[in-house]
Amino acid sequence: MLNKILYADSGADNAQDMLKILLELPATKNSQLSILKVISPKTTQEESEVKEQAKTKIDDLVTKLGMDTSKVDMRVEEGEPKTTVLKVAQEIDAGLIIMGSRGLGKLQSILSNSVSQYVFQLTDRSMLLIKDDIYVKKLKRIMIAIDKSPAANYALDVTLAMLQGYTDAEILLTRVNPDLDPNLALSKEDMENNPILAPAVAKVKRMGLDYQCLVTGGRPAQKICNLAEARNIDLLVLGSPERRPSIAKNLPDVERLLGSSLSDYIRIKAPCPVLLARQEEA
């Protein structure tokens, strides 16, 4: 997933800060980074000037990242931002799309032409979303939402790959079971032996990473966001299966956009950056 990273730059400082933090991880040392700046189509007279301004902004960002410009694919594209991001992600076969997000609600996202919501809806690639109103911090506490799904298992694998060679982070393996009493107090041993968490614990132990387990009840989406805030989480990771049936890949699905999936709720409400992991097709 980290081999090819597409950063769609909207100029948001905290999204740029998150990109810098990610690129400082040992696991991203050899990643291919593409930085995309999308501009509106202009008249011939204006086009050159606008493109130069966009290139200058990308150059400034590359300097901020402390990277060699020769090692970054810098792209200025004309078009509609939401469709251009999807097109470029496909062209470069990006494993991860990073972009800022206003954190708008579902209907509000549609009415305001939200780029991040549109891309999230239609892409089959993992996304790292950084809301405009959150404070980005070094990766010290990373929460992974674990359930029975293959997507959750993939999210764990992605996180462990991302933290390869990085020892400063603690992982919080979190299982929210709606059938449990939210006030139920479980021992550390009971939580580590939880049948859903136990395989995840074994994987984390093999990596030698610090970790905690948390098993609780409640409504999963709301509970995960509340726990992320209470535990001062720096990055929240969850599996997010591809949302589109293959028959409708090219059309936005309004019913889905208005749906109430866990991914939708968390990307809007989470108090920290959210990595929505989607398994790449073989």
**Lookup result for tokens 């950063």:** 7
Is 214 within a domain?
no
Residue-wise pLDDT for 78-125, tens only, equals 889 989 999 999 999 999 999 998 654 444 444 345 788 889 888 999
* Residues of the chain above pLDDT 70, percent: 86
Q: Is residue 240 domain-resident?
A: no
Q: pLDDT digit string (tens) for 19-42?
A: 999 999 999 998 999 999 998 876
Q: How far is CA 236 from CA 13, 68, 90, 108, 181, in A?
A: 19, 30, 25, 23, 23
Q: Is residue 266 part of a domain?
A: no
**Residue 65, domain member (yes or no):** yes
- The boundaries of the domain holding residue 20 are 4-137
Task: Answer yes or no: is 253 within a domain.
Answer: no
Assign residue 87 the CATH number of its domain.
3.40.50.620
Query: Hey, CA dihedral for 92, 95, 96, 97, is it positive or negative?
Result: positive
Nearest to 238 by CA among 174, 282, 163: 174
Q: Is residue 32 part of a domain?
A: yes
Whole-number Cα distances in Å, 152 to 113, 118, 245, 282: 29, 23, 20, 18
Asked if the structure places residue 233 within a domain, the reply is no
Cα separation of 199 and 277, whole Å? 19
Residue 135 CA to residue 164 CA, distance in Å, equals: 25
Structurally, the chain folds into a number of domains equal to 1
Does the residue 64 lie in any domain? Answer: yes
The average pLDDT across 133-151 equals 94
